[in-house]
Structure 1
């Protein structure tokens, strides 16, 4: 059972148009919204937003667990759709999340100090690769791997009712103040480490001594304000996705071209050397090459060692070098 709690009057008003409900705890905000749409507890023709302070059974991609300590954001937005949902949507969401004021504020500081900014990692994550230093405390040792510092994950799930596609649920988990402690089991073999926005604030503060700066330390906005920023990003992503879908019918590319330009500027894999592991008939197949952005279908483009360009729809990504 979830317990609804009141938010500030200002935030409540701002999010009321999204039929917002905030709870102390949810098994999974995505699952809760999907179930409510399927059993008609919530109207499938309207937008619905659910936020939670923690999750007891949070989910990531491919049913991986998503640790949900308090102090972070767990948010799901249901949006009715009139068209099939493609993998391009998660990348559009990633770009819109990277444009949020809180991310832009931190990126400005990171770039001013010559550090890697927060970007979008194909296909569902927000964070960055530190090509100068890796943390191998909780993962198997591999001298070649460069670990991904993961701030946020995106989980998109279509919602069906009576065998008809009625909408999509877009879930976002963002580490704000609490950094999940990953183990070999909880990271499930993936080459990444968890990072929070607060970690970045402290990292940038250590680079420049306080007494040497006239500016105050960066202060993160409240979780309530971040709920609003994320929900606005998700709504903007749906608008962009719908425009791109309409353009395809009209043989136009303005929105797609603009999105691809934005993605290229935020691509966390840009120029990195990758090892991509795919499953073919139960057998792993490994492809090496350099990341070359995405195509108009949202597929990762990999320049293989043989010079050929491969478009990859899925696969495990390991970074094994950089330009």
Structure 2
């Protein structure tokens, strides 16, 4: 288990009343679950990227939330559309071991198992870091290693319907999935707890990761193409993952082990 943490009052800047209420609810919710020590906690009206803010902060742990991002990003530098009304959250954390691909999968698994989702049928994970519900995307993960086993885990979750002009793929949101209006502060609490739990799972070796991931694998046994700048496109059928989180692709030339790349169903 991770060491308990304190959230010092001097780390909280002057913010509007609504956000002051949210950060107080966040602090209270975390303490109710035994999390009382994060070096810095910020809830911002807007920022460029919560990951960038978390990376720039001192200390071994930090939690940064923003109502909006002006320069949010996803994997491979892709733009992450970040309009007001969703949750943009980054956790800076110190792991016991150097970060590897297992961590993104542990984070995804922890998020689809949040109590707020109550194990809804149809929740899916697209390797390695996208969250889906019945084929529509509702969230994504960006993990950026720092140094000395430190990592920043960024999460963007759709809390309400996205406008058509900000996306080029089917999307959904947590309000539609759960059928109820969700409180963003409560979602922030559950998301933070999920990320901490994922880090603990990672530090304990990610036991039975292939089995746990298979239950949510959006592309298992599907024909896909894997694109990577370092090699030619690979075509095949996804047959699962390795214990280290690598994707297993059955091709005409045998089983290929994929550690990075963009996967698309065909």
Range into which the TM-score falls when normalised by the shorter chain: 0.7 to 0.9
Matched, 1:30 2:7: no
Asked if 2 retains the 8 angstrom alpha-carbon contact of 1:119 and 1:267, the reply is yes
Q: Is the 8 A contact 2:131 2:140 kept in 1?
A: yes
What's the counterpart of residue 296 of structure 1? 243
Measured after TM superposition, the shift of residue 77 of structure 1 is 0.4
**Alignment-derived partner of residue 155 in structure 2:** 172
The answer for the alignment partner of 2:9 in structure 1 is: none
Q: Distance in 1 between matches of 2:223 and 2:133?
A: 15
Normalised by the length of structure 2, the TM-score is 0.83
Aligned equivalent of 1:57, options 61, 67, 71: 71
Quote the Cα distance in structure 1 between the aligned partners of 2:255 and 2:134.
Answer: 23
Deviation at 1:120, TM superposition (A): 1.2
Q: Does the alignment pair 1:317 with 2:260? A: no
Alignment CA distance shift 1:92-1:168 (3 Å): same
Structure of higher CA gyration radius = 1
Structure 1 residues 3 and 304: alpha-carbon distance in aligned structure 2, compared to 1, 3 A threshold: farther
CA RMSD, Structure 1 to Structure 2 (Å): 2.2
Query: Which of 206, 213, 228 lines up with 1:278 in the alignment?
Result: 228
CA shift, 1:193, in A, is 3.0
Which residue does the alignment assign to 2:212?
A: 262
| 2: CA distance, partners of 1:275 / 1:94 | 22
- 1:195 matched to 2:178? The reply is no
| 1:153 aligned onto 2:103 | no
Match of 1:14 in 2: 29
| Contact 1:102/1:220, CA 8 A, preserved across alignment | no
Aligned residues: 244
Q: Distance in 1 between matches of 2:117 and 2:219?
A: 18
> How many Å apart are 1:56 and its aligned residue?
1.1
Partner residue in 2 for 1:127: 132
- Go from structure 1 to structure 2 and tell me whether the alpha carbon gap of 1:243 and 1:28 turns closer, same or farther (over 3 Å shift): same
The gaps in structure 2 that reach 5 residues or longer are: 1-12, 31-35
Q: Could you list the runs of 4 or more consecutive aligned residues of structure 1 that deviate by over 4 angstroms after TM superposition?
A: none
Indicate which of 77, 83, 91 corresponds to 2:91: 77
After TM superposition, list the pairs within 5 Å mapping 1:38-49 onto structure 2.
42-43=58-59, 45=60, 47-49=61-63
Q: C-alpha separation between the residues in 1 aligned to 2:105 and 2:149?
A: 21
